[in-house]
Amino acid sequence: MNLIIDVGNTFVKFAVFEHNTLIHKESFTLEEFKKRFKSIKKKFPRLLSCIVSSVGRLKKDEVNAIVKDLNLLVLNSDTKVPFKNTYKTPKTLGVDRLALVSASILNYSNNNVLIIDAGTCITYDFITHENKYIGGAISPGIRLRYKSLNNLTANLPLLETETPKIITGNTTETSIHSGVVFGVIKEIDGVIDTYTEKYSDLTVILTGGDAKLLSEQLKNSIFANSDFLLEGLNYILEFNS
């Protein structure tokens, strides 16, 4: 039984897998880590192995607590992965992207796959039918766009995310919603179109915190999977055991 720990920009996620089956997940703030770790160990006493993504945000004593109880794998650029990585700067490639590409191997091996992770940033990752990772793109996510409009201008307010009903805003607020949300939607559809022109058999995966909001608006056909990153982390752990 495996424990997956994903330390994100905003929240920490715990997931428990029995082989490749997700049986439990929870999300909480970093401050709750110690309490939640003790709780999940008590709830799942058969936990044996653990993988940690983004360990740099954990304190040393928190990492030591994991090492004491479980077989620990810290995901980094040197970790063995189930694909050929041709990224020119592998040391700078985010561990979340390594996990997402690994999940595509688990679920869509020998397919041309574009993975779109819509979170704090929107990342695009492309892997060929030969299981060769090429690279992708990084752009600001929805919340970053709202915040940048507020932080970098004198008069624009910070708004909560809202899906606009029409593209032509008739107030400052509706104009911001249109620019941010429709801008992201058109960006994603445009990227998918560009890849599809070259790879007609392309499989597109959409994941991340904003996946649900965006999946209802995109014109292109996609597979939405909110657990894709967790599945990839578990697969890497299994692959290294």
State the Cα–Cα distance between residues 171 and 157, nearest whole angstrom: 12
Q: Are residues 33 and 93 in the same domain?
A: no
Residue 239 lies in a domain: no
Q: Are residues 43 and 136 in the same domain?
A: no
Instruction: Please write the tens of the pLDDT for every residue from 37-54.
Output: 999 999 999 999 999 998
Q: Are residues 57 and 147 in the same domain?
A: no
Number of structural domains (the chain) is 2
Residue 241 lies in a domain: no
Residue 143 lies in a domain: yes
pTM above 0.85, yes or no: yes
Q: Are residues 61 and 94 in the same domain?
A: no
CB atoms within 10 A of CB 221: 10
Instruction: Please write the tens of the pLDDT for every residue from 146-198.
Output: 999 999 999 999 999 999 999 999 999 999 999 999 999 999 999 999 999 99
Q: Are residues 64 and 125 in the same domain?
A: no
Q: Are residues 211 and 134 in the same domain?
A: yes
Residue 240 lies in a domain: no
Query: Catalytic residues, which ones?
Result: 96
Q: Are residues 111 and 53 in the same domain?
A: no
Q: Are residues 140 and 226 in the same domain?
A: yes
Residue that terminates a domain, selected from 18, 41, 74: 74
Domain containing 88: what range? Answer: 84-234
Rounded to the nearest 5 degrees, what angle is found at the Cα of 225, between the Cα atoms of 219 and 228? 130
pLDDT value for 55: 65
Integer CA distances (angstroms), 165 to 20, 119, 147, 168, in order: 40, 22, 21, 9
pLDDT value for 86: 97
pLDDT value for 97: 96
